[in-house]
Chain A
Amino acid sequence: MSDLEKPSAKRDGFNIDMVRVLLEGRAFFALIAIIIVFSILSPVYFSVGNFLTMSSHVAIFGLLGIGMLFVILTGGIDLSVGSTLALAGVFAGFLLEGVPLEAFGVVIYPSVWVVVVLTCALGAFVGAVNGILVAYFRVPAFVATLGMLYVARGAALLMTDGLTYNKLGGSPELGNTGFDWLGFNKLFGIPVGVLILLAVAVVCMLALSRTPFGRWVYSTGGNSRAAELSGVPVKRVKLSVYMISGVCAALAGVVLASQLTSAGPTAGTTYELTAIAAVVIGGASLMGGRGSVRNTLLGAFVIGFLADGLVIIGVSAYWQMVFTGSVIVFAVLLNSVQYGSKRKSAKSADKEKVSAKVSKAQAV
């Protein structure tokens, strides 16, 4: 009897393992599938040039997605990143056109690095407002950041009167050239925007996996009450993640403005939803506590490569929306499958291990 059972049990175990591998690597497999399908459908898709172009699109979503990941890991959500991106873009444009100081009768032209730093500071400020509302005034994250979605967009429109900054190239005599370098140029053949994304990703990956702060983020999202009683500064952690999200959005805004060499107040509309989608496709749980930078990046690539592929093979914009939406829902569906089965199988597997150990100990 037991002899008969053994092989089947083994086969089951193998199947479960295969399913788990497929589930856990689903963003990766989806990306591979997308690349294969579009390469077959279009001769121009599979080329280094096209990959680089698509990657610089992905850079925007990737930056937003990584910021969003931090917020989602704590169990929150940040709906304001699209607007923050636009506000950061026009703020950078405003600085590059020159800041008139009327009291002194001079116009200051800050250099590009100063512009980038100031813009990121603005993003941090926007995030800090979100974070203070959520952590200290207990406004639900959805509401606080929804408000910021409107406020930041409005501020961007007010700054430009609804117009777009076009002359972002700067001029040599003013010493503020080089803004287009961020989005336009390449370093070692790779667009600078993509390199920025990779740099941010590496820093964030280390921060999440190897620093106390990362552990605090995961524990805050997993169970904030338990985290608090273990001495985790839960409120400061929440404030920090919204600031990180704001900085990432500002960086994305700078890169996008640079790519387009123009900064408009309506840039990045609905990008917050794309960012959430990237995080979710990457397998993160909207309840908090689960997710990783690597998978979020994969999620961003899935969305970016899918959208561009659909454009390349000439699918209409309307169908693009249908496809993208379906992919997102499918990803969330798989999330619930994964977290449902993982809990069960891990539990039984571990119990077996424990009982094996215990019986061994007893035998001795």
Chain B
Amino acid sequence: MLHEQAVADNNLAGTTLGEPILSARNVAKSFGSVQALKEVNFDVHCGQVTTLFGENGAGKSTLMKILSGVIQPTSGEILLEGTPVNFSSTTDAQELGISIIHQELSLAPNLNVRDNIFMGREIVGAGGVDFREEERQAQLLMDELDEPIHPLTPVEDLRVGQQQIVEIARALSTNSRILIMDEPTSALSASEVEVLFRVIKDLKSKGVSIVYISHHLEEALQITDHAVVLRDGVMTAYAERKDIDLEWIVRNMVGEGFDLGSAPLGYEMGGIALSLQDVSVPDEALPERSVVDGLSLDVRAGEIVCIYGLMGAGRTELLESVAGRTPMSNGKVFLKGEEVSQCSIAERIEKGLVLVPEDRQRDGLVQTMSVGENLSLASIGAFTRKLMTSRELEQDVVDSSIRKVHIKTSGGEAEIGSLSGGNQQKVVIGKMLATDPDVVMLDEPSRGIDIGAKAEVFKLLSEGARQGLAVVFSTSEVGECLSIPHRVIVMRKGRISAEFGPGVTKEEIMAASGESVAA
């Protein structure tokens, strides 16, 4: 019912199937000195699926946030059916029929489906909220989406896939004609993906235009009508589905342009610095299941090992448990021949095994502390004399760290929030390097930082390796596997599915991870 309305709107405005309904023209966005988007042109095609491809940090999310009114572009304009529009908030965009479904669902798990759908837009009758009418409409939406979910089911009882359907229902209930989906399948099982795709096809037939973002290239190709590729904030390619294949996407996504460096050579590697033997890590939610399943790995001093894998492959879980954050269900960790499986995080740092966590805001930085206090946090012992910390010695640690990892800051006293993402990441890395480690593990060190900062971080790691540091880093960007590592490990479902030397190709890595069609 609601869609008939939407279709009618479309017809009124005169946009026909396949024509651009929403367009971005020369849109640019910068955050401080970082330019996230540069003069991007992007069309959403009416009644069809337009997929946006690109690596992490390519600017996909930024573009979607601009189209849905979450943020405003620095320059350029947005055209809705040919007329320039200006969204100052998501509510503005919603009123014009544009909704976004974020990667992290925004439902209240304690409320039921009906209340979630009408959250903030309750239907109020004479006697307060008209729950019966709300329930009727919620039921209608579920029927339309062909999902047997009762409107009174608490959302926390639903599977993730069903929760996603509820999000879609909520978007539809606001008369959305354009639906932006950011990585909708990343947390879904194969059968749930099928349901979602059926719903997407259904929505298309009802005239809803869809923007789709996914790292799962193969899946996206099944559903899309148009493909747009972004790389480092620039739109690099556009094509219709019928003209392209997987290889085309990968080629355009990764590009050949920026050199992230190559494996440092010309020195002798040392003995085995880190040895993992038959490591298993239980799933936090389902302890009987293992997210890391009997994995063994040796890393030598001076060696750089890269762990590649899709989301959910178990990379983060592996690194966190090796660092001592989460317990292992099985297996042993040896540092320079000494077993450290039972040691606390602090003891492992003391012995020379450190982790730079993936989410720097959540796990890396203390936001209430200054740059200097963050940098020295892990090595307080080094500047403590007779119970008291020494200001001079701490200043030395901070200054040398700022120099060593090239942090752009006005000094150690600056607030941590004043730094750019790349510099914040360097603070986290600098903090761990200040402990003078033998083995450094970095979980997605390039996440959310621009290409220049990325290259700097990699250079830093190469230099470390040259001086005998064992480096293990994880990534979900294939391009990084071909840069500085001496060895690439591909993880898939908690196990090592392949191991490659420096001569490997992107296609081989992606095949081993389960990402490509060719596999």
Contacts and interface: CB of A to CB of B under 8 A. Distances in A.
A350 B414 contact: yes
A215 B373 contact: yes
A227 B365 CA distance: 8
B362 A225 contact: yes
Given A225-B363, A346-B415, A354-B408, A230 B32 contact: no
Given A350-B418, A351-B418, A211 B409 contact: no
A222 B408 CA distance: 23
Contact of A218 (B32, B357, B369, B389): B369
A232 to B, nearest CB: 7
Classify the secondary structure of A's interface with B: helix
A221 B408 CA distance: 26
A289 B366 contact: yes
Interface string B452-477: 00000000000000000000000000
A290 B368 contact: yes
A210 B393 CA distance: 12
Nearest to B391: A210
B478 interface: no
Nearest to B32: A351
Contacts of A313: none
Contact of B346 (A221, A231, A285, A347): A231
Interface in A211-259: 211-212, 215-216, 218-219, 221-223, 225-233
Given A211-B387, A219-B377, A350 B410 contact: yes
Given A232-B377, A346-B415, A354 B410 contact: yes
Nearest to A206: B388
A294 interface: no
A229 B388 contact: no
Contacts of B373: 215, 218-219
Contact of A212 (B33, B384, B432): B384
A336 to B, nearest CB: 15
Contacts of B409: 350, 354
B346 A226 contact: no
Contacts of A20: none
B300 interface: no
A358 interface: yes
Nearest to A357: B410
B349 interface: yes
B345 interface: yes
Interface centre among A226, A228, A290 (most CB of B within 10 A): A226
B380 A215 contact: yes
A74 to B, nearest CB: 12
Contacts of A206: 388
A346 B417 contact: yes
B39 interface: no
A227 B369 CA distance: 11
Contacts of B418: 346-347, 349-351, 354
A343 interface: yes
A206 B386 CA distance: 13
Given A225-B362, A227-B366, A232-B377, A347 B388 contact: no
B328 interface: no
B343 to A, nearest CB: 11
A223 B367 contact: yes
B364 to A, nearest CB: 6
A186 interface: no
A289 to B, nearest CB: 3
A211 B389 contact: yes
Contacts of A357: 408, 410
A223 B373 CA distance: 13
A355 B388 CA distance: 36
Nearest to A288: B368
Contacts of B414: 350, 353
Interface in A145-191: none
A222 B415 contact: no
How many A residues touch the partner, as a band? Answer: 35 or more
Nearest to A223: B366
B346 to A, nearest CB: 4
Interface in B335-394: 344-346, 349-350, 355, 357, 362-369, 373, 377-378, 380-381, 384, 387-389
Contacts of B344: 233
A16 to B, nearest CB: 16
Interface in B382-431: 384, 387-389, 408-410, 414-415, 417-418, 431
A222 B365 CA distance: 9
A212 B387 CA distance: 8
Nearest to B366: A222
Contacts of B346: 231-233
B159 interface: no
B301 interface: no
B325 interface: yes
B323 interface: yes
Contact of A353 (B357, B380, B389, B410): B410
Given A289-B369, A351-B32, A228 B377 contact: no
A358 B364 contact: no
B345 A219 contact: no
Given A210-B389, A229-B323, A218 B417 contact: no
Nearest to B388: A210
Contacts of A346: 415, 417-418
Nearest to A227: B366
B410 A231 contact: no
A231 B379 CA distance: 9
A233 B349 CA distance: 12
Given A228-B345, A232-B377, A343 B417 contact: yes
Given A211-B388, A350-B410, A228 B366 contact: no
Contacts of A230: 349, 377-378, 431-432
Contacts of A228: 325, 345
Contact of B368 (A211, A218, A229): A218
B456 to A, nearest CB: 14
Contacts of B355: 229
A199 to B, nearest CB: 17
A3 to B, nearest CB: 27
Nearest to B428: A226
A289 B410 contact: no
Contact of B415 (A233, A347, A355): A347
A219 B369 contact: yes
B368 A289 contact: yes
B244 to A, nearest CB: 41
Interface in B292-345: 323, 325, 344-345
B380 A229 contact: no
A212 B414 CA distance: 21
Given A225-B362, A289-B369, A231 B350 contact: yes
Interface string A331-354: 000000000000100110111011
9 contacts: A211-B384, A212-B380, A219-B373, A222-B369, A223-B368, A227-B366, A229-B363, A230-B431, A346-B418
The 5 A-B residue pairs whose C-beta atoms are closest, nearest first, are: A350-B418, A289-B368, A222-B366, A222-B368, A231-B346
Given A212-B384, A347-B417, 18 more contacts: A219-B366, A223-B365, A226-B365, A231-B349, A231-B350, A289-B366, A289-B367, A289-B369, A343-B415, A346-B415, A346-B417, A347-B418, A349-B418, A350-B410, A350-B414, A354-B410, A355-B33, A358-B33
Interface of B: 32-33, 323, 325, 344-346, 349-350, 355, 357, 362-369, 373, 377-378, 380-381, 384, 387-389, 408-410, 414-415, 417-418, 431-432, 435
Interface of A: 206, 210-212, 215-216, 218-219, 221-223, 225-233, 285, 288-290, 343, 346-347, 349-351, 353-355, 357-358
